[in-house]
A and B are shown apart, each in its own frame.
Chain A
C-alpha cells in the first residue's frame, strides 16, 4: 500500500458530521450516458449545500465532484465493477473520496504523477502549460492531471491518495480524496 498527501480515512473523528453521503455506480452506466457524470456531480453539490445560500460552494463542489467522477469512470479497468463515492462534511470541511479499480499501467502513471505533485520542485505554472499542450487523455496522465491542477490549485483542495493491491494480479484499488475548507469553497462570500 502506498499513500500520498497525508491520506486520512475520515474527517477528524472529533467533529460531528453535518452531512454524509455514499453512492455506488457502475462506470459502464456513466459511459453509456455521459451526462450522468454531471448529473451526479450537481446532485452531490446540491445535497450538501441545500438550505444554504452558498452558490460558490455549490459550483466548486460540483466541479470537483465531476472531475473525480470522470477520472474514476475513465480509469476503472473493469467497467462493471462499482465505483464508490463517500462524502462527509462537518462545519468547516468537506471531504470527497472516490474509489475505483485500475490496471497496472494507469496506476503506474498515477503514481509517478503523484510523486511529482508532492515533490518539492513541483512548479504549478509549468505543469499547467505542459498539460494543456499535451494530446488526448491516455492514462491517469494527460487530461486528468489537468483536473488535479484545477482541484488543488484553483480551488485549494487538499489532495491525498491511497493505492492498494487487490486479489487480482495487476489490478489496484485506487482511492483519491479531496478535502476542501468550506471557507475556500465560498471564500468571497464570507
Chain B
C-alpha cells in the first residue's frame, strides 16, 4: 500500500486514541448533494445538533455551520463524479470540536488538492490568504479554497489533510479542529 500523504493535524494523531464525548457520523450521497441547498441544510443541522449543549447555542451554531459548510463544499469539489458518498463526522472532545470529511477523488482533482496543500505548508496563512484573494479577483470560478483559508485565519482553525490511494481513486480525509473557547 502506498504511503498516505499527510498535512497538518494528521502528523500529530494522538487525539484519535481519545474517546470522543460526542460523535456523529453521516453519509451523504454525492449525486444529490449537487442540490446546493442540501449542503446548507446539512451544515445547519449538524451545527444545531452539536451546539445544543453550548451556553450560547445560536452563536456557536452559526460559526460551526460556516465551517461545516465549507468542509462539505470542499469535499464535494474534490470528489469523483462516480456515485460515491461523502462522510461527515463530528466529534466533541473535552475542549475541542473536530469535524472530519471523507470523500473519494480521481487523480486529477487529487493533484489540485496536493498543490493546495503544498501552498499551505510553504506560506504563512495570511500571505496565502492575500495572494488567493488577488488571484481570485482575476478568476471566473469560485473554487479557490479561500473559504478554508478565511476560517484558518479568522477562527484559529487547525487543519489536517490525508490522502491515501484506494484502488483507482484516492481517499481524502480533511479534518478541522477548533477549541471550544474560540466558539
Q: A residues touching B (Cβ–Cβ < 8 Å)? A: 17-26, 29, 32-33, 35-36, 39-40, 43, 46-47, 50-51, 82
Q: When each residue 12-55 of chain B gets 1 if its CB lies under 8 Å from chain A and 0 otherwise, what string results?
A: 00000000001111111100100101100110010011001100
Name A19's closest neighbour in chain B (CB-CB).
Answer: B32
A47 to B29, CA, bound (A): 12
Interface residues of B in 137-151 (CB under 8 A from A): none
The answer to whether A24 touches B25, judged by C-beta atoms less than 8 angstroms apart, is yes
A26 to B90, CA, bound (A): 12
* Number of A-B residue pairs having CB atoms within 8 Å of each other in the complex: 53
Given contacts A26-B23, A33-B53, 7 further A-B contacts (CB under 8 A): A19-B29, A23-B26, A23-B27, A43-B45, A46-B41, A50-B37, A82-B23
- Is A29 a contact partner of B22 (Cβ separation < 8 A)? yes
Interface size class of B (residues with CB under 8 A): 20 to 34
Q: Which residues of A contact B23 (CB under 8 A)?
A: 26, 82
Given A39-B48, A39-B52: A21 in contact with B24 (beta carbons within 8 A): no
- Please report the C-alpha to C-alpha distance between residue A53 and residue B42 in the assembled complex, in whole angstroms: 19
Report yes or no: B52 in contact with A36, Cβ–Cβ below 8 A.
yes
A contact face: mostly helix, strand, loop, or mixed:
mixed
How far is the CB of B169 from the nearest CB of chain A, in Å? 19
What residues of chain A lie closer than 8 Å to B37, measured between beta carbons? Answer: 50-51
**Residue ID in chain A nearest B21 by CB atoms:** A29
Q: Which residues from chain B contact A36 at a C-beta distance below 8 Å?
A: 49, 52
Q: Is B24 in contact with A32, judged by CB distance below 8 angstroms?
A: no
Among B27, B35, B49, which residue has its beta carbon within 8 angstroms of that of A21?
A: B27
Residue ID in chain A nearest B45 by CB atoms: A43
Shortest beta-carbon distance from A48 to chain B in Å: 10
The docked-state distance in angstroms from the alpha carbon of A20 to that of B85 is 10
Q: Which residue of A lies closest to B24 (CB)?
A: A25
Contacts of B27 in A (CB 8 A): 20-23
Give chain B residues whose Cβ lies under 8 Å from the Cβ of A21: 27-29
Nearest-Cβ distance from residue B90 to partner chain A, whole angstroms:
10
